[in-house]
Amino acid sequence: MKPEKSVVLIIVQFILIAGLIIAERIGQPHAILRGGLFAALLAATGLLLLARLRFKSRLERVASELKRAIRGNGSTRLLANDEPAFDEVIFSINALIEQLEAVQVRTIKSEAARKSLLSNISHDIRTPLTSIIGYVDALKDGLAASEEEKRQYIDIISRKAAALKEMINEIFDLAKLDADELPLKRETLDLAELAREAAIGLLPELKTYGIELQANVPDRICPIAADRLGMQRVIGNLLKNAVTYGKDGYVVGLELKVEDERYILSVWDKGAGIREVDLPRVFDRMYRGDASRSSMQGGGSGIGLAVAKAIVEKHGGLIWAESRPGLQTVFTFTVPKQARSIQLRNN
């Protein structure tokens, strides 16, 4: 490692002073020798003073650059020179600035996402509330012409209120998952049985829309170590998503595959599908890119898939979506296998 210039100059100064002292002790030094030693000492001192002034000037520049970084200029970088010790400090400061820049970028993105989320939540809450208030006012003012019309109004109010309650529950669950305040109560469960239960629970809605259910779930036990409510939420959200956005295809599929170390559960529909540009963002909270899969077409809040993704990842699995618009859209997640246990809690 190259020694610092100031250290070298100090050593030279020490040697010159020592030489003068020794020359004086052993006898009267020659005038030329004395003059040479003093000239060298003066030169070394001058160079040391110059180095000190340059170091001070550089510190001032560093301080100025740091102030720029503090004011938010994350692209600021400090330049190194040939002084090893000082360069180590510069490298550390640059690394810290890079980290601060990354934090700043994440903060900006997080703030933008927060504003978008709040805007979408506000819209999605206001819409059903406005509808509920409108129908309640209509009932209060006696605008319903018959008892049948009153029942229709009440049915609409009930459905809107239930959807609003479900969306609020999803928002709270997502917030708890983000804050790690929704602990997973793992137990040994049968994933095949969970899938069958979810499908059976959806049969009334499938019948309402005239949708055929094509289920391919193995008869064997598929043990997993998972949170029962969490897994029910994941499978239920994917099935509801398929019904909501794929009912025009009149068929919804559920398939469970067994691999060596994991299970793969897929839910598919033959609805309008998802554009390729929207696929990477379908699990973003409140994201609804394609108009065919938006709340204006009877869709949900856009939170259900984000909740499903968070739960799957907390179980050590993966989740993704594939779509061929107009042909088939598939949502798939994996969950690790669990060594088979006799005491299956849901079997």
> Residue 171 is part of a domain; what is its CATH number?
1.10.287.130
Asked if 204 and 137 sit in the same domain, the reply is no
Residues 168 and 193 grouped into a single domain: no
Q: 38 lies in a domain?
A: yes
Please indicate, yes or no, whether residues 306 and 284 belong to a single structural domain of this protein: yes
Do 172 and 148 lie in one domain? The reply is: yes
Give the model's pLDDT for residue 86: 66
Domain membership flag for residue 81: no
Same domain, 217 and 288: yes
Whether 134 and 239 map to the same domain: the answer is no
Looking at residue 334, its pLDDT comes to 96
Helical axes 84-140 vs 31-70, angle rounded to 10° = 10
Among the candidates 158, 179, 200, a domain finishes at 179
The residue out of 179, 200, 225 marking a domain boundary is: 179
**Is the same domain home to 194 and 157?**
no
pTM given for the model: 0.60
pLDDT band at 235 (very low <50, low <70, confident <90, very high): very high
Name which residue leads in pLDDT, 24 or 345.
24
Residue 142 parent element (H or E): none
Residues 141 and 232 in one domain: no
Asked if residue 81 has pLDDT above 50, the reply is yes
CATH number, domain containing residue 243: 3.30.565.10
Over residues 42-52, the mean pLDDT reads 76
- Rounded to an integer, the average pLDDT of 241-256 is 92
Give, in degrees to the nearest 5, the angle at Cα 115 between 112 and 121.
135
- Asked whether residue 121 is assigned to any structural domain, the reply reads yes
10 falls in which pLDDT band (50, 70, 90)?
A: confident
In a domain, 94, yes or no: no
**Which of 136, 161, 179 marks a domain boundary?**
179
**pLDDT (tens digit, 9 = 90+) per residue, 304-342?**
888 899 899 999 999 999 999 889 999 999 999 986 544
At 36, list the tokens.
């040479």
pLDDT band at 59 (very low <50, low <70, confident <90, very high): confident
Residues 200 and 306 in one domain: yes
Q: Is 230 exposed, middle or buried (0-12, 13-18, 19+ CB in 10 A)?
A: buried
Q: Which residue has the higher pLDDT, 40 or 246?
A: 246
- More confident call, 82 vs 226: 226
Report yes or no: 205 and 243 within 8 Å, Cβ to Cβ: yes
Task: Give per-residue pLDDT as tens, 104-138.
Answer: 777 777 677 667 667 767 767 888 888 899 989 88
Q: How many domains does the chain have?
A: 3
Task: Determine the pLDDT at residue 41.
Answer: 74
Q: Are residues 290 and 152 in the same domain?
A: no
pLDDT on residue 92 = 77
Domain range enclosing 215: 187-336
